[in-house]
C-alpha cells in the first residue's frame, strides 16, 4: 500500500484533534494584523528607495537608476560592466518600450529574446548567456529583494542560468516589506486571478557558506545581481 485516499489520510488527523469529521470551516484567525505591519510602517516611497539601495549594497547587488528614456543606456552600460557578450532578455512589453533590444544590438551584444515558441533554444541561450534581463513585478526595500513572476514570456531560467541577472523594476512598485507584496497577491486571489506557477523573491547573488562557513558568492544561481530602478 503506497498512497491512500485523502479522506483516509485525514482520519487520524481528525482523531488526534478529537474531531468526529473534518470541519467545514474554522474559527477565523487574523493573519492580517500583527508585528509585520509595525516595521517600516511609516516609510515613504523615498525612504523605501534609500533603504533598498542600502540593503542592496550589503548583499552585493548593483543598483542603477533610470528614466524610461535612459533605461536602455543604463542596461547596456551594466551589460558591458558585467562583460556580457551573450544576453537573454524577457519578451516583455517593457523591453520594446525601453528600446532595449536595439540598444543591446548597437552596443555589440548578442541579445536573445526569450521565445515561448522555441523552448529548447530559449533554455540553451539562457545557459550560454552571461547576462539575463527580466522585468520584475516589484521589489522589497527591507531586503533589497526583487519579486519575479514566471510567465511564458519570461522564463525562470532568465534569472537563474546566466552568471549575472539584471532586474528592471519600476520605482513605484518598490514596497517596504514582504507583507506588502503578499497583500497585493492576496488581492489578486480575491479577484479570482490565478497565481503564476512561480514567483521568486530574489535577494542578491546566489551564495553559500557550506565550507568552513566561508561565504562564497555564485553557486548554482547568478554570481552577480543588479537592479535597475526606473522612474515612471
Closer CB to another protein, 77 or 115, in the complex:
115
How far is it, in rounded angstroms, from Cα 176 to Cα 49? Answer: 9
3-state secondary structure of 170: strand
Looking at beta carbons only, is 71 or 200 nearer to another protein? 200
Let me know the angle formed at the C-alpha of 154 by 153 and 158, rounded to the nearest 5 degrees.
140
* 107/178 with CB nearer another protein: 178
* Of residues 78 and 141, the one with the C-beta less far from another protein: 141
Phi-psi region of 34 (alpha: psi -120 to 50; beta: other; left: phi over 0): left
Cβ 189 to another protein, closest distance in Å?
7
CB of 33 to another protein, least distance (A): 9
Decide if 174 contacts 124 (C-beta within 8 A): no
Closer residue to another protein in complex, CB, 66/142: 142
Least CB distance to another protein at residue 67 (A): 29
Q: How far is the CB of 108 from another protein (least distance, A)?
A: 27
CB within 8 A of 161, min separation 6: which ones?
Answer: 123, 126, 127, 129, 132
Taking the complex as a whole, how short is the minimal distance between the CB of residue 62 and another protein, in angstroms?
A: 15
- Residues whose CB falls within 8 Å of the CB of residue 162, separated by 6 or more in sequence, listed in order: 84, 87, 88, 126, 129, 130, 131, 132, 222
d(CA 7, CA 199): 31
Based on the number of CB atoms within 10 Å of its own CB, is 24 exposed (0-12), middle (13-18) or buried (19 or more)? exposed
> Residue 99 has which C-alpha cell?
528600446
In the complex, the smallest distance separating the C-beta of residue 69 from another protein, rounded to whole angstroms, is: 31
Minimum distance, C-beta of residue 79 to another protein, in the bound complex (Å): 21
Instruction: Order across the sheet with 224-230: list the strands.
Output: 61-66, 224-230, 164-170, 131-135, 86-89, 110-113
Nearer to another protein, 105 or 195 (CB): 195
Q: Tell me whether residue 10 or residue 107 sits nearer to another protein (CB atom).
A: 10
Amino acid at each position: 500500500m503506497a498512497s491512500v485516499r485523502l479522506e483516509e489520510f485525514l482520519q487520524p488527523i481528525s482523531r488526534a484533534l478529537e474531531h468526529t469529521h473534518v470541519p467545514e470551516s474554522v474559527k477565523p484567525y487574523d493573519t492580517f494584523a500583527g508585528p509585520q505591519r509595525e516595521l517600516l510602517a511609516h516609510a515613504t516611497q523615498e525612504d523605501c528607495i534609500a533603504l533598498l539601495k542600502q540593503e542592496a549594497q550589503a548583499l552585493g547587488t548593483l543598483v542603477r537608476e533610470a528614466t524610461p528614456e535612459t533605461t536602455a543606456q543604463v542596461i547596456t552600460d551594466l551589460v558591458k560592466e558585467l562583460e556580457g557578450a551573450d544576453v537573454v532578455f524577457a519578451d516583455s512589453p517593457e523591453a520594446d518600450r525601453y528600446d532595449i533590444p536595439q540598444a543591446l544590438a548597437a552596443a555589440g551584444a548578442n541579445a536573445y529574446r526569450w521565445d515561448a515558441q522555441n523552448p529548447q533554444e530559449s533554455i540553451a541561450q539562457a545557459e550560454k548567456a552571461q547576462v539575463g534581463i527580466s522585468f520584475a513585478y516589484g521589489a522589497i526595500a527591507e531586503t533589497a529583494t526583487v519579486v519575479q513572476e514566471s510567465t511564458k514570456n519570461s522564463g525562470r531560467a532568465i534569472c537563474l542560468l546566466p552568471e549575472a541577472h539584471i532586474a528592471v523594476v519600476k520605482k513605484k512598485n518598490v514596497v517596504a516589506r514582504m507583507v506588502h507584496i503578499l497583500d497585493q497577491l492576496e488581492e489578486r486571489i480575491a479577484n479570482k486571478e490565478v497565481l503564476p506557477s512561480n514567483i521568486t523573491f530574489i535577494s542578491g547573488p546566489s551564495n553559500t557558506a557550506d565550507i568552513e562557513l566561508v561565504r562564497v558568492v555564485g553557486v548554482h544561481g547568478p554570481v552577480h545581481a543588479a537592479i535597475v530602478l526606473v522612474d515612471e
